[in-house]
């Protein structure tokens, strides 16, 4: 009996403190004098907000009864027609703490009790939009406050609304360790305590981050930063089979789909889709959600986005160019010469992008120059390209990079130079691609004059000898024929003489 009473008392306590209380409260940052917003409620009739205290929760606002006075120091409004959220205005440092909301449907059905932890910082941009930082080289500096962390100070990094969590997730706390708390970020964060800065590399998603500097138990400054990475550009040619990669850890089971120029592509129930149809891999076990496009054509050109289905968080953005490939051109050159390479351009179309790449031996493909239309730049993130050091002062580029001239060529310039031209045709983009193969003519090689002159001399000498031999043979033949003719004539005379003698004897 006593055991049953204890269990009843425990259940009552759980109900009073919140039967649906989240074990990990959602962390919300604010700035002194600014505002903070709690919750996004839907399909409810009423919501109530409490401030949690050790000696009992304090009712702050009941959205269905706006006339009830709020406690001193609080200025809270309920936003939305259906009480979609709470907005705390004119924040003070003392308002940092834990809060509990109650969502009600009808008068007797409490459907959820979310918990929030508000952190009010002395300064910063917590209540403003995220500062967008474009990632160009797969790494970016976060949390640079230009101040040294002294004794009693620490730096915290939070990730917000990422594929890994809907709420604010603590990634790093220098007060306890310089290693990230989350496995996903380990090996990718470098900490500089002198500048209160973090450098994040290996960026995969357009994550949102929040940085906070603490002095003891008080947040002194906070900054919000959103990373926006430009899409990866992939080129292909007509009738090729193309795979657009998208990897998403299976530890986070949110569904994934592709947004394509022709519509959405989701995981097919039929695991063996027709080979001529665009489809995506089922990465629920492997984490591989790559999009397979059999036999691409011009209609497949444009942007492809791999994203989560519920929150539409971008995992991968790819711009696919399906290019019409022209025949390659071979160019022989000698030391010190120049070469002019022209890209295929249709003068009746508007140029959007012209790129020139170089590939030498086992070296990777390198973009050496490009020109682009300002309309295209914010879409695919094209920007100015620094010319390689070895080409500095030797390359002349025409207007919009349609032709490239390289002077003072050396053997090191041998390789394949590929051009890609993207032009606008009505509402579509047309891509052409071609290449020049530059081959160095070795002064002592088989193609050199030094090598070919003796060879040609020997050939000519052989031809002269052959002509002389033929003429000698011909003359010798003529002499032999004349000698035989004379011998025949003499033999004929002797026969005639014998015949005459025989005739005389018979007479």
Instruction: List, in sequence order, every beta strand (DSSP E) within 300-390.
Output: 302-308, 314-325, 329-333, 339-342, 350-359, 366-372
Give the helix/strand (H/E) hosting 128. Answer: none
Residue 110 binned pLDDT confidence (cut-offs 50, 70, 90):
confident
Q: Which two tokens stand for residue 305?
A: 């986005």
Q: Is the dihedral of CA 62, 64, 70, 76 positive or negative?
A: positive
Q: Which two tokens stand for residue 180?
A: 């990230």
C-alpha 380/C-alpha 318 separation (Å) is 9
Long-range contacts of 392-397 (CB under 8 A, 24+ apart): 395/368, 395/369, 397/369, 397/371
Give the helix/strand (H/E) hosting 494. Answer: helix 449-506
C-alpha 293/C-alpha 318 separation (Å) is 13
pLDDT of residue 199: 82
pLDDT of residue 7: 37
Q: Which two tokens stand for residue 382?
A: 């094209």
pLDDT of residue 304: 92
Q: Which two tokens stand for residue 484?
A: 């035989």
C-alpha 178/C-alpha 160 separation (Å) is 20
**Residue 302 clears pLDDT 80, i.e. is over it:** yes
**Residue 51 clears pLDDT 60, i.e. is over it:** yes
The rounded mean pLDDT for the chain is: 79
Give the helix/strand (H/E) hosting 453. Answer: helix 449-506
Show the domains of the chain with their CATH numbers. Answer: 16-121 (2.60.40.10), 129-229 (2.60.40.10), 232-323 (2.60.40.10), 326-440 (2.60.40.10)
Longest dimension (CA), the chain: 180
pLDDT of residue 21: 42
pLDDT of residue 506: 46
pTM (2 d.p.): 0.57
Read off the pLDDT of residues 461-503 as tens digits, 9 standing for 90 and up: 878 777 787 777 777 666 665 555 555 555 555 554 454 444 4
Residues 6+ apart with CB under 8 A from 30: 36, 88, 91, 95, 118, 119, 120, 121, 126, 127
C-alpha 254/C-alpha 270 separation (Å) is 20
Q: What b/e sequence results for 352-388 when a residue is b if at least 16 CB atoms lie within 10 Å of its CB, and e otherwise?
A: bbbbbbbebeeeeeeebbbbbbeebeeebbbeebeee
Q: Which two tokens stand for residue 316?
A: 């991968």
- In 3D space, the residue among 246, 425, 427, 406 whose CA is nearest the CA of residue 324 turns out to be 425
C-alpha 226/C-alpha 130 separation (Å) is 5
Q: Between these two residues, 130 and 7, which has the higher pLDDT value?
A: 130
Read off the pLDDT of residues 265-294 as tens digits, 9 standing for 90 and up: 988 655 555 556 899 998 888 889 999 999
Distances in Å between the Cα of 487 and the Cα atoms of 484, 496, 500 are 5, 14, 20
**Residue 355 clears pLDDT 70, i.e. is over it:** yes
């Amino acid at each position: 009996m006593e055991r049953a009473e204890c269990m009843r008392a425990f259940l009552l306590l759980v109900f009073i403190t919140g039967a649906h209380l989240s074990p990990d409260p959602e962390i919300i940052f604010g700035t002194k004098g600014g505002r903070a917003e709690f919750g996004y409620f839907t399909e409810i009739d009423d919501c109530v907000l409490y401030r949690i205290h050790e000696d009992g929760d304090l009712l702050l606002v009941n959205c269905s009864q706006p006339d009830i006075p709020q406690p001193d120091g609080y200025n809270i409004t309920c936003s939305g027609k259906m009480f979609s959220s709470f907005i705390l205005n004119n924040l003070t440092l003392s308002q940092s703490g834990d809060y509990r909301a109650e969502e009600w449907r009808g008068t007797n059905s409490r459907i959820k009790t979310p918990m929030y932890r508000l952190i009010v910082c002395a300064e910063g941009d917590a209540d403003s939009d995220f500062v967008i930082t474009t990632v160009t080289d797969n790494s970016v500096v976060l949390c640079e406050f230009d101040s040294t962390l002294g004794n009693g100070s620490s730096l915290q990094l939070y990730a917000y609304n990422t594929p890994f969590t809907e709420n604010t997730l603590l990634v790093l706390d220098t007060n306890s360790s310089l290693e990230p708390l989350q496995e996903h970020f380990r090996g990718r964060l470098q900490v500089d305590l002198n500048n209160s800065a973090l450098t994040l590399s290996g960026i995969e998603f357009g994550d949102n981050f929040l940085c906070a500097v603490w002095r003891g138990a008080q947040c002194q400054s906070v900054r919000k930063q959103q990373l926006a990475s430009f899409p990866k550009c992939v080129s292909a040619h007509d009738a090729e089979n193309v795979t657009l990669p998208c990897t998403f850890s299976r530890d986070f089971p949110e569904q994934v789909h592709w947004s394509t120029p022709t519509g959405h592509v989701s995981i097919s129930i039929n695991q063996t889709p027709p080979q001529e149809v665009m489809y995506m891999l089922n990465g629920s076990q492997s984490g591989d959600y790559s999009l397979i496009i059999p036999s691409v054509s011009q209609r497949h050109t444009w942007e492809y986005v791999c994203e989560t289905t519920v929150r539409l968080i971008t995992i991968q953005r790819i711009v696919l160019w399906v290019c019409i490939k022209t025949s390659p051109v071979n160019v022989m050159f000698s030391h010190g010469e120049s070469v002019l390479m022209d890209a295929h351009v249709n003068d009746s179309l508007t140029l959007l992008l012209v790129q020139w790449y170089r590939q030498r031996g086992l070296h990777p493909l390198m973009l050496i120059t490009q020109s682009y239309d300002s309309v295209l730049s914010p879409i695919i993130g094209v920007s100015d390209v620094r010319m390689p050091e070895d080409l500095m002062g030797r390359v002349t580029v025409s207007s919009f990079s349609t032709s490239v001239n390289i002077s003072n060529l050396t053997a090191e310039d041998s390789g394949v130079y590929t051009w890609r031209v993207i032009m606008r045709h009505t509402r579509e983009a047309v891509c052409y691609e071609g290449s020049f193969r530059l081959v160095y003519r070795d002064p002592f090689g088989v193609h050199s004059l030094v090598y070919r002159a003796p060879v040609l001399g020997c050939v000519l000498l052989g031809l002269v000898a052959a002509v002389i031999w033929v003429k000698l043979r011909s003359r010798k033949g003529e002499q032999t024929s004349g000698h035989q003719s004379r011998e025949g004539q003499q033999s004929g005379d002797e026969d005639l003489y014998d015949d005459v003698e025989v005739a005389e004897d018979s007479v």
